[in-house]
Amino acid sequence: MFLKKVFLLFLLLSLFLVGCGQKEQNNRKVISSSIENENVDASNVMSKTVEFDGSLYVDSGLVIKNPSKQEAEQYINNSEVSNPLYPLKVVEKTNDVLEETVLSNKTIQINYNGVISEITLSYYKKNGQQIFLTDNRSNYHLTKRNQNQYILEWAENLFNLDVSTWQVSQVLSDEVGVYKRLDLLKVKKEEQILQWGTIPCINQAGDIIAFNSNRGYFYSEDRNASGEIWVKNFNNSEEKLIDSSGLIMGWINDDLFLKSPDQVISVNIITGISHVVVPDLSPLESVVLVDDSLIKYDNNRIYLINPFDLSQKIIWSGNSGGNIANVIINSKKEIAVLFQQNRTESRNKLILVNSVTGEIKDTPVSDDGFIIYSVSWLDDGSLIAVTEDVLSQNPKSYWIET
């Protein structure tokens, strides 16, 4: 009974759950929903929203359903294995009817450090293609490189996974200059483990990968303990240190964008030339990179920045009655803005701003007693927002057509 409670707790806290060890299934289940704001005349409100109970999130262009507390409890109590995990389900919408489909699983083996380990991948077949989730309980992360190849982040290292052959190979060399992975594994650091390669970010061409590594700190204590930024070029197998600190934001062609607490810089991997793109960031400002644009925002303004000529324009300003908590953008430059209305009551609201036309639309997800804790673009025309009842903590999700 104690073990079951432990597994249940872990299951309910995780956003990325999979059906490990379960047989592949393809059963579908129609789930109920209620339609709100359909064919609304007001031009500043979303045209259609599907509302339903439960928690969803977006992964690899799929809408994934998290199990309810009751579903998780029932599954664990009825399971005959020692560590049961509720199988994840894909949710699809056709003519406002929602259907659930259990994800399929594939178990692969990795021979690493002389030990053979197994990882269970979750995927969904759509239009003849296998779409893999980026995360699950196997403690891995997948980043797509091309049609058949993924970068697999696992065990603090990076591997290449070819899903056409299920072959797995190590991406990073075990020895790079003075850094020798097997030697550094023997170095003991209090509350630190060797991260040979984590947080991968692949350029658009798929031939250069940026990653974080704390190998420098394990080699010399005067280096950054939280890790440094490295890149590997698949064309010539070269691996080199790029920056001693910062967070990887993403790529535009051969330019890698990095964020530190007070600025954003770009580094051209071919020439090695770096530029300050966004200087003098304050603690109240945040910056995100989407496609070929940077978005900077503070409590009551949103800027669109051209990262090459450094021009910027204000695309939204005003008093929303709260602070901007999160900003996400789609490829059509439509920006979903999440406002935290009241820090004491944790109330918030969600609006949509078109950065080209300046048009603003409200969303119907600001009910009293609910807080919005997750917002994701599913595609250029659909948003998934998840709210939670402040008192009962029961989730409610919205499928919003913008």
Instruction: Give the CATH number of the domain where residue 350 resides.
Output: 2.40.128.660
Residue 178 has pLDDT above 90, yes or no: yes
The sign one gets for the Cα dihedral 99, 102, 106, 110 is positive
| pLDDT for residue 334 | 86
Single out the residue of 371, 351, 374 nearest to residue 363, CA to CA.
351
The answer to the question of residue 242 being in a domain is no
Q: For residue 106, which of 91, 90, 118, 88 has the smallest C-alpha distance?
A: 118
Q: Which of 39-48, 229-238, 249-258, 291-300 has the lowest mean pLDDT?
A: 39-48
Provide the residue type at 50 as one letter.
V
The residue whose two tokens read 């999440």 is 338
The answer as to whether 103 is a domain residue is: yes
- The percentage of the chain sitting over the pLDDT mark of 90, rounded to a whole number, equals 45
Question: Is 181 a member of any domain?
Answer: no
For residue 248, the cross-strand partners are: 258
Boundary of a domain, candidates 105, 137, 169: 137
Q: How far apart are CA 130 and CA 187, in angstroms?
A: 41
Whether residue 142 is contained in a domain is answered as: no
Contacts for 72-76: CB closer than 8 Å, 24+ residues apart:
72/8, 72/11, 72/12, 73/8, 76/4, 76/7, 76/8, 76/11
Count up the domains in the chain and report the number.
2
Nearest 5°: the CA angle 24, 30, 33 is 135
Q: Which residues pair with 179 in a beta bridge?
A: 176
Which of 137, 153, 174 is where one domain is finished? 137
Of the three residues 137, 159, 175, the one that is the final residue of a domain is 137
- Measured from the Cβ of residue 245, the count of other Cβ atoms closer than 10 Å reads 12
- The answer to whether 372 and 31 have CB atoms below 8 angstroms apart is no
Residue 219 lies in a domain: no
The predicted pLDDT at position 392 comes to 80
Q: Output the pLDDT for position 225.
A: 87
With respect to residue 351, please indicate whether it lies within any of the assigned structural domains. yes
Do residues 315 and 297 touch, judged by C-beta distance below 8 A?
no
Comparing 34-38, 171-175, 372-376, which segment has the lowest mean pLDDT?
A: 34-38
Residue with tokens 């704001």: 37
The domain of 337 spans 320-401
Residue 230 forms part of a structural domain: no
> What is the rounded distance in angstroms from the CA atom of residue 361 to the CA atom of residue 43?
8
Residue 75 belongs to a domain: yes
Residue 163 CB coordination number (10 Å): 18
Q: Is the pLDDT of residue 306 over 60?
A: yes
3-state secondary structure the chain: CHHHHHHHHHHHHCCCCCCCCCCCCCCEEEECCEEECCCCCCCCECCEEEEEECEEEEECCEEEEECCHHHHHHHHHHCCCCCCCCCCEEEEEECCEEEEEECEEEEEEEEECCEEEEEEEEEEEECCEEEECCEECCCEEEEECCCCEEEEEECCEEEEEECCCCEEEECCCCEECCEEHHHHCCCCECCECCCCCEEEEECCCCCEEEEEECHHHHHCCCCCCCCEEEEEECCCCCEEEEECCCEEEEEECCEEEEEECCEEEEEECCCCCEEEEECCCCCCCEEEEECCEEEEECCCEEEEECCCCCCEEEEEECCCCCEEEEEEECCCCEEEEEEEEECCCCEEEEEEEECCCCCEEECCCCCCCEEEEEEEEEECCEEEEEEEECCCCCEEEEEEEC
Q: What is the pLDDT of residues 52-100, one digit of tens each?
A: 888 899 999 999 998 877 777 887 888 776 666 677 899 998 877 888 9
- pLDDT score, position 76: 80
Q: How far apart are CA 30 and CA 32, in angstroms?
A: 7
pLDDT value for 25: 33
